[in-house]
Amino acid sequence: MIIKSAEFIKSAVKPAHYPPAVLPEIAFAGRSNVGKSSLINVLVNRRRLAKTGATPGRTQLINFFIINDAFTFVDIPGFGYARVPVSVKKKWGPMVETYLSTRDTLKGVILIMDIRRTPKSEELSLVEWLNHYHISSIMVVTKIDKLARSKQLPQKQKIARTLGVNSTDLILFSARTRQGKGELWRAIQALVGTEEA
Ligand SMILES: Nc1nc2c(ncn2[C@@H]2O[C@H](COP(=O)(O)OP(=O)(O)OP(=O)(O)O)[C@@H](O)[C@H]2O)c(=O)[nH]1
Ligand SMILES: [Mg+2]
- CATH number of domain containing 97: 3.40.50.300
Residue 188 sits in which domain range? 6-192
> Which ligand sits closest to the CA of 33?
1
* 74 DSSP β-pair partners: 27, 64
CA distance 15 to 30: 21
Report yes or no on 197 lying in a domain. Answer: no
**Among the bound ligands, the one closest to the CA of 32:** 1
pLDDT value for 82 = 66
Q: Can you give the pLDDT at residue 180?
A: 98
pLDDT for position 51? 82
Q: What is the pTM of this model?
A: 0.94
- For ligand 1, atom 14: residue with the closest CA: 35
Per-residue model confidence as pLDDT tens for the chain (197 residues): 899 999 999 999 999 999 999 999 999 999 989 999 999 999 999 988 888 776 666 668 899 999 999 999 999 988 877 667 777 777 888 899 999 999 999 999 999 999 999 999 989 999 999 999 999 999 999 999 999 999 999 999 999 999 999 999 999 999 999 999 999 999 999 999 865 54
Q: Among the atoms of ligand 1, which is closest to the Cα of residue 56?
A: 24
Atom of ligand 1 nearest to the CA of 174: 31
Residue 20: inside a domain, yes or no? yes
Residue 1 lies in a domain: no
User: What domain count does the chain have?
Assistant: 1
Q: From the CA of 142, give the closest atom in ligand 1.
A: 31
Does residue 24 lie in a domain region? Answer: yes
Ligand 1 pocket: which of 11, 52, 176, 178 to mutate (most atoms within 8 A of CB) = 52
> Looking at residue 197, what is its pLDDT?
47
Would you say the CB of residue 86 lies under 6 angstroms from ligand 1? no
- CA distances (Å), origin 87, targets 12, 75, 190: 17, 20, 38
77 lies in some domain: yes
Q: What is the DSSP string of 68-136?
A: TTTEEEEEPPPB--TTS-HHHHHHHHHHHHHHHHH-TTEEEEEEEEETTS---HHHHHHHHHHHHTT--
